[in-house]
Amino acid sequence: MESKLNVKILRNAQVPLYHFTDYFKGFEKVDAIRRLFGEKTERVLEDLRIEFSGRRGYMGVSNVDGHLNVSAEYLNKGDILDIYLDIIHELTHVRQFMEGAELFDNRYNYVSRPTEIEAFRNAVEEARRLGLSNSRICEYLKTEWMTDEDFLFLAKTLNVKCESVPG
C-alpha cells in the first residue's frame, strides 16, 4: 500500500522510559514504601521505569510490564502532596503487579476493586501519618471520574469522614 501512497512511514517508534529514581528521590527511605517492598525496596525503585505523557491526567501503572505512566503536566503543575500520595498509591500497584495481581479487574467497580482499596488505604495511612485532616484527605480521594456515591463509598471503606463531597 505504501507504494500506492508514494510515501514511506517508519513504524519503529519507541516510547522512552526513564529511571524512577531520576525523578523521585528519597522514596527508598519512606516507611510506607519500605513496607511495600521490604529489603528489595532499593532494587525495585532502581529498576522501575517511568513513561511521561503529554496528555492530561495523573499517573498509573502499565498492566503490560508494570512501569509507571505519569502525566508530565501533573508532575510539573500538580499539588506536591497529591503527587507524593499518588506515588505511594501507584507503588502499591507496582507491588501488586509484581505479585501477579489483576490491576484492572472489571468484575469490580473502580472504588470496590481490591487492588484500588489497598492502594488508597496505603495513601490514606500516609496522609494520616503526615497529619492531614479528614477534609484534606477527602479532597485527595475525590477524582473527576468518580460519582458522588462512589466517592462516599470509598471514603467509608477507608474510614475517612467526609462532611461533603469535595468540588
Residue 3 lies in a domain: no
| CA dist., res. 51 & res. 45, Å (int) | 14
| CA dist., res. 97 & res. 47, Å (int) | 14
What pLDDT is stored for residue 47 in this prediction? 98
- Give the CA-trace dihedral at 10, 12, 13, 19, to 10 degrees: -160
What pLDDT is stored for residue 4 in this prediction? 84
| CA dist., res. 162 & res. 30, Å (int) | 27
The pLDDT of residue 56 is above 90: no
Reported as a single tens digit per residue, the pLDDT across 99-113 is 999 999 999 999 999
What pLDDT is stored for residue 145 in this prediction? 86
Cβ contacts of residue 110 below 8 Å, gap of 6+? 116, 145, 146, 150
Residue 135 lies in a domain: yes
Contact 48, 20 (CB under 8 A): yes
Residue 123 lies in a domain: yes
Residue 5 lies in a domain: no
Any bridge partners for residue 154, and if so which? Answer: none
| Region of residue 6 (left: phi > 0; alpha: psi -120 to 50; beta: else) | left
User: 57: pLDDT confidence band, cut at 50, 70 and 90?
Assistant: confident
Q: Using only C-alpha atoms, what is the Rg of the chain?
A: 18
The average confidence (pLDDT) of the chain is 94
Query: Which residue type does 105 have?
Result: D
pTM summary value? 0.91
Mean pLDDT of 45-62: 94
User: 6: pLDDT confidence band, cut at 50, 70 and 90?
Assistant: confident
Range of the structural domain that residue 46 is part of = 18-157
Mean pLDDT of 142-149: 90
User: 12: pLDDT confidence band, cut at 50, 70 and 90?
Assistant: confident
What pLDDT is stored for residue 124 in this prediction? 98
Mean pLDDT of 50-57: 90
Residue 12 lies in a domain: no
Residue 6 lies in a domain: no
Residue 166 lies in a domain: no
Q: How many domains does the chain have?
A: 1
Residue 162 lies in a domain: no
The per-residue DSSP string of 44-96 comes to HHHH-EEEEESSSS-EEE-TTT--EEEEHHHHHHS-HHHHHHHHHHHHHHHHH
The pLDDT of residue 61 is above 80: yes
The per-residue DSSP string of 128-166 comes to HHTT--HHHHHHHH--TTS-HHHHHHHHHHTT---SS--
